[in-house]
Amino acid sequence: MTRWGRTVGWCAGLSGLLIASVLVGATIGPIRIPIPVVAKAVLNGLAVPTVGVVGGSGETSAAAVSVAGIGLDVGFVSPFAYQVPEPSRVIVTQLRLPRIVLAAIVGFSLAAAGTVMQGFFRNPMADPSIIGVSSGAAAGAVAFIVFPLSVPFGLQGMAFAGALVSAFLVYLLATEGGRTPVATLLLAGIALQTFLGAVISFMLLQAGWRLQEAIYWLMGHLHASTWDEVLVTLPVSLVAFCVLAAYARDLNVLLLGESDAHSLGIEVERTKRVLLGVASVITAGAVAVAGVIGFVGLIVPHVMRLLVGPDHRILLPTSALAGAVFLVATDTVARTGPAELPVGIVTAALGAPFFIYLLRRREVHAL
Amino acid sequence: MISVEDVSVRLGGERVVKNASFDVPRGKLVGLIGPNGAGKTTAIRAINGLVEPESGRVEIDGDRVADLSARTLGRRVATVPQNTSLGFDFPVRDVVSMGRTPHRSRFERESTADREAVERALRRTQLADLADRSIDSVSGGERQRVVLARALCQDSPGLLLDEPTASLDIGHGVAILDLVRGLVSEGKSKGEGESEDEGKAALAAIHDLDLAARFCDELVLLANGAVLAAGTPAAALTEAHLEAAFGVQVAVTPHPVTGAPSVTALSESSTASAASGASAASTVSTDNSASVAASGERNGANAENTGSDESDDGNGASTGNRSDGTSAGDDDSGTATELPDIDGR
């Protein structure tokens, strides 16, 4: 029960930190808005009952529409009615919060996927993009930007589809006779990434005046995020996370090696398929809306492993929450500099030195 | 309990197990012996479902292994692998409790029964004091005990051990086999009240022939993937069998302390002659000075009828008293199951 207590404690602490970082993040920007005003704006926006809609979204209209869409006529009651200046309300709920909440979801997803991939591959260098998901998303997105394509769900749809197609391709390449050796999977992933890198470079050459937009997407950004993106990404992320969490114990046993895991009653190949598939979906959901944001999925799990230990039952939820906090914080830095930076630059610029610090402490060698 | 029937396994195009048949009943510790590359590990992997036999049947409790889910299999047979590497730094108790995996469904929390099984396994393997240490901080011998404890809390009637003593010093090696011995003959002796079943069925690949002879009820000698001999240690460990399997001349003598057959490798196999018999006698005598007279006699006898199967009987007779401390009640020494294809290797 101590483990359960520790899990709850860590998750509660990190959730508190996440809420704090969201609120503080919302105060920061070209116009500073004091925390009490932000808090009031958020509380005003809360609508009860929420039918599986974003907590703290503050946007009742979109929620009401989506609910009416499935024929439910649920009345939304806002329990709070604080006096908030209209410009502040709009800035907080329509400009900053969607972006901040999306950053949290993306960080949450990438860190969860990274934790699973490192455990799955038993490799400290594994991250969510290792099976070609990010490259696939990038190829899809760049193709959409460069060529005048008309597809449903546009850029995000193309990126999401590209991510899943390439993950599936890597899986097919690595599978023989119903077995998917992890080492082959890793190499197939690298091969596909390299190939897609060539494809992306070629498309960029053809991009012409769209080059800047494509490059900007590739660097990973959360610019101009909307509640719609949040509403699409959040359910994907939460459902996928719940599946991964249900497999936390299997991940622990898989760390013993596949032979041992089998003799301990794990259907190894089926478990690998589920983990790969779900980790790909959660990564694809994140990458489709935010572009390629490096290092979150690599570093956050390492840091949390040092803090809470290797047991996935506690590591997976805490890593996911820490990833959310980390990306909210780095995105706040990214958008408040003299010129707005793609958040991918900030995560890499802050993450890499920290990673080197961990390496020098030798902690990462031991994995 | 475990039945291997005419099983062949092909790995990478080569048949590494050839038409092997043997049984492991409950309450028996069966040793799998043979030279490096004889197929011992592969045979074990065929039983726990890690490799699929090309032909033949591997059955556990009457069901084909291939038809069982990993979970059912995990409840019936526990495996102690040759080397376990756990990349991450788990506490000993957590590693042991992974043995409960086949007993819990995905959404089930740890039950009292689970916790009791883990604590019982920790006590049994004398790991209770180390339970909260990290797996990376314990010694090789302790690590092997951790893996054994993990297998114990699987609560399975079958137990497979792949070289459980390979990397251990003599003290730890004997301790592990003593423990396995106890698990196997548990029900027979007193049963400790916790379970009234008949003791486990255990199959152990063991490199050290003396340890195998001392602790096992029966031995299966593999050479080049085929079963060369099977039966009680006295029946299986004959000079003729061992020379055929290992390609080296050996002397088999009763161990002065345990009485179990003791094997000493002498030199490259050559046609047995009086000269080699003499050299054998001298080598053996330096090894166990306590039994100079006995071994001299044995070798002399051997020089007369080397290669003939009559040496079986000689062996059986001379080592018939081995059962005193190690395995009670096998009076069938000397009944070797000779397979027809000894020379077909």
Per CB-CB distance under 8 Å, the chain A contacts of B94 are 252, 311
With an 8 Å Cβ cutoff, is B343 touching chain A? no
Chain A closest CA to B116's CA: distance in Å?
14
Intervals of chain A under pLDDT 50: 52-65, 67-69, 71-72, 364-367
Q: In terms of domains, do B154 and B284 share one?
A: no
CA distance B26 to B264: 31
Are A305 and B88 a contacting pair at CB < 8 A? yes
Chain centroid to CA A318: 14
Is the domain of B247 the same as that of B196?
Answer: no
Taking an 8 Å cut-off on Cβ atoms, the answer to whether B81 and A263 are in contact is yes
Report residue B5's pLDDT band, with 50, 70 and 90 as the boundaries: very high
Same domain, B144 and B292: no
B250 phi, psi to nearest 5 deg: -130, 160
Q: Are residues B183 and B291 in the same domain?
A: no
Does residue B260 surpass a pLDDT of 60? yes
Q: Is A269 on the interface with B (CB under 8 A)?
A: no
Say whether the peptide bond before residue B25 is cis (omega within 30 degrees of 0): no
B137 — contact with chain A (CB < 8 Å)? no
What range does the domain containing B89 cover? 2-215
Asked whether the beta carbons of residue B74 and residue A264 sit closer than 8 angstroms, the reply is: yes
**B contacts of A119 (beta carbons < 8 Å):** 88
Tell whether B208 and B243 lie within a shared domain: no
> Do B173 and B37 fall within a single domain?
yes
Mutation target vs A (from B92, B101, B112; most A CBs, 10 A cutoff): B101
Classify residue B267: in a domain, yes or no: yes
Spell out which residues of chain A touch residue B77, defining contact as CB-CB under 8 Å: 263
Do B321 and B199 share a structural domain? no
Please indicate, yes or no, whether residues B180 and B277 belong to a single structural domain of this protein: no
Specify the pLDDT at position A63.
46
Contacts of B93 (CB under 8 A, 6+ apart): B118, B122, B131, B132
Main-chain dihedrals φ then ψ at residue A168, nearest 5 degrees: -65, -40
Which residue in B98, B118, B152 has the most chain A C-beta atoms within 10 A of its own C-beta, making it the best mutation to test that interface?
A: B98
Question: How many domains is chain B built from?
Answer: 2
Same domain, B211 and B260: no
Q: Assess if residue B245 is contained within a domain.
A: yes
Long-range contacts of B301-310 (CB under 8 A, 24+ apart): B302/B239, B302/B251, B302/B272, B302/B277, B303/B272, B303/B273, B303/B274, B303/B276, B303/B277, B303/B278, B306/B239, B306/B240, B306/B272, B306/B277, B307/B240, B307/B272, B308/B240, B309/B240, B309/B338
Q: Is residue B342 part of a domain?
A: no
Q: Which residue has the tokens 């699987």?
A: B154
* Confidence at residue A363, expressed as pLDDT on a 0 to 100 scale: 53
Q: How many Cα neighbours within 13 Å face the side chain of A268?
A: 22
B64-97 pLDDT per residue, tens: 998 999 999 999 999 998 876 766 788 999 999 9
Joined together, the tokens standing for residue A292 give 């390629």
- The answer to whether residue B229 sits within a structural domain is no
DSSP state, residue B138: S
Say which amino acid occupies B161: L
User: In B, which residues are within 8 Å of A365 by CB distance?
Assistant: none
Give yes or no: residues B26 and B169 share one domain.
Answer: yes
CB of B41 less than 8 A from some CB of A: no
* Cβ-Cβ contacts under 8 Å, A309 against chain B: 89-90
Contacts of B72 in chain A (CB under 8 A): 265
| A246 vs B77, B87, B107: nearest CB | B107
Lowest mean pLDDT among A126-130, A216-220, B11-15, B275-279: B275-279
CATH classification of the domain holding B174: 3.40.50.300
Pair (B35, B157) in one structural domain: yes
The pLDDT mean for chain B works out to: 77
Which residues contact residue B192 at a Cβ distance below 8 angstroms, ignoring those fewer than 6 apart? B186
pLDDT attached to residue B282: 38
ipTM: 0.79
Looking at residue A79, its pLDDT comes to 76
**How do the domains of chain A map onto residue ranges?**
2-33+87-360, 46-84
Shared-domain flag, residues B192 and B314: no
Task: State in words which class domain A2-33+87-360 has.
Answer: mainly alpha
Q: For chain A, what is the total number of helices (H) and then of strands (E)? A: 16, 0
Residue A11: its pLDDT value, please? 95
